[in-house]
Amino acid sequence: MKTFPTIVTGIFVALALVGFLLFATFSSKGSSAVGTVVVWGSVSQDVFNGILGDLKTGNNTYDGVSYQEISDDQLMPKLVEGIASGHGPDLVIFPEEDLLGQSDKLQLISYSALSRRDFQSTFVQAGENFLSANGSFGIPFTVDPLVMYWNRTLFSNAGVAEPPTYWDEIPDLSGKLTKASQNGTIQQSAVALGTWENIDHAKEIFLTLMNQLGNPVVAVNDKGAFASVFSNKDSSASVSPADSAALFYTEFADPTKPMYSWNRSQPDAHDAFVNGELAIYFGFASELSGIRAANPNLNFDVAPMPAIRGGGQGAFAAVSAFSIPRGSANPTGALAVAQAFTSVASQTSLANALGLPPVRRDVSPGNASDPYIVVFRNASLTGFSFLDPDPTATDSIFGRMVDAISSGKLQPTEATAAAGAELGALLGVQ
């Protein structure tokens, strides 16, 4: 009889343990740690789901995460509409080019969740436009730098061994690589510069020139507001960076200049390169697979963008980040998903899937035997991004400036001053 209480106690303890295990198992299978998180973005559905699948393997933490792919041109309109209607996403892959104009649609991620020091130590410099005084507007996810594609066959035929390292080498190359018929029609071009509408990424190319010359175009003024510094000139300089960049850019479309190689009648620059009619094409790293697919027989290579001799280097880089929009029903879960997708493991998978350099500094750029990825990686580390007040409007402003100079309607100084004034008006700061 003395053993009976011990036996009963043992039975109750065993039942309690079984109940606890059953409850824990049921709870872990029936719920997700991050809850429901709806993500929008323009990244391929297959790529996103592939990374999400890796995160879900042996782990039900992210069972409530879903993704909707939305095209680049529709992402911002749909996001604005979704926030207004109360049916927006919990997380969005936000393009940096829309940050200045649309940051009021986003919640700040506190520096207590990701410190400014950790942000700058972890991600490439081009992502730092997402930082603000009190937090970040997003956690960088992708980086796509501008690089120089060059046709090896056309260079070899012209007796040129290597692509240009500096911008001032290109005018001389134009004479060797550009071919025209007896009536002056350009049949083969050295480089697509000088016009606007038929040059892919004309704005990003021009911004690269400006940045290398030391002018960020848009900066914070002494009142703490974003303002145009486009037409500013250093008191010690005889020519402003804007005038220098505009003059250099437009000379390639001037038939009276020895570097003449492009005009408005030329096809789209991307198409001309793919067809083997353009020796140098400035495009994004993400275009590599498309160029290969469009012409498998094209003998080309990739190099960094030209630099200013004795001056700046680095090129424009398009950056996206995971941002939490206003009205998110689950900002805590959204932040957890953003951190998971920007981890070392996820960034490695993303880089391999997209063929792009990782946005994290501590992630290997991929297969060292790949002749392109090392160029892309270096370009991402030296790249910069642009605080664009309105991508469509600024493209039009710069396009009008180039057209005014090319047509002789305005002198470079007059055209850049007009463009600077328009940028100031766009920013609401004169």
Q: Do 89 and 325 contact (CB within 8 A), yes or no?
A: yes
**Do residues 310 and 343 share a domain?**
no
Please tell me whether residues 196 and 48 are part of one structural domain: no
pLDDT value at residue 18 = 41
Q: What is the mean pLDDT of each run of 10 residues along the chain (430 residues)?
A: 49 46 39 85 96 93 96 96 95 97 96 96 97 96 98 98 97 95 92 97 98 93 86 80 96 95 97 98 97 98 96 94 97 97 95 92 79 93 95 97 96 96 86
- Residue 172 is assigned to a structural domain of this protein: yes
Backbone φ and ψ of 337, nearest 5°: -65, -45
- What total of structural domains would you count in the chain? 2
Whether 27 is covered by a domain: the verdict is no
Report the distance separating Cα 291 and Cα 269, nearest Å: 12
Q: Which of 147, 111, 32, 117 is nearest to 378 (CA)?
A: 147
44 and 170 together in one domain: no
Among 297, 250, 266, CA closest to 189: 266
Q: 81: which 2 tokens?
A: 């509409």
Instruction: Give the per-residue pLDDT at 364.
Output: 83
Residue 283 φ then ψ, to 5°: -145, 175
Q: d(Cα 393, Cα 397) in Å, to the nearest integer?
A: 6
For residue 77, the domain's CATH number is: 3.40.190.10
Same domain, 167 and 100: no
Instruction: Please check whether residue 199 lies inside any domain of the structure.
Output: yes
| Same domain, yes or no: 333 and 356 | yes
Q: Are 427 and 226 in contact (CB under 8 A)?
A: yes
Question: Which domain, by its residues, includes 346?
Answer: 33-142+319-371
Q: Is residue 3 part of a domain?
A: no
379 falls within a domain:
no
Flag whether 205 is in a domain.
yes
Q: Which SS3 state, helix, strand or coil, does residue 262 take?
A: coil
Contact assessment for residue 397 and residue 140, using Cβ atoms and an 8 Å cutoff: no
Same domain, 186 and 71: no
Q: What is the pTM of this model?
A: 0.90
Asked whether residue 21 is assigned to any structural domain, the reply reads no
Residue 202 and residue 329 share a domain: no
Do 347 and 409 sit in the same domain of this protein?
no
Residues 130 and 214 in one domain: no
pLDDT at 3: 55
Indicate whether 231 and 311 sit together in one domain: yes
Q: Do residues 308 and 270 both lie within one domain?
A: yes
Q: Are residues 291 and 230 in the same domain?
A: yes
Between CA 345 and CA 350 the distance in angstroms is 9
Q: Is residue 11 part of a domain?
A: no
* CB 97 within 8 Å of CB 129: no
Residue for token pair 């309105």: 390
Please provide residue 95's backbone torsions phi and psi, each rounded to the nearest 5 degrees: -75, 135
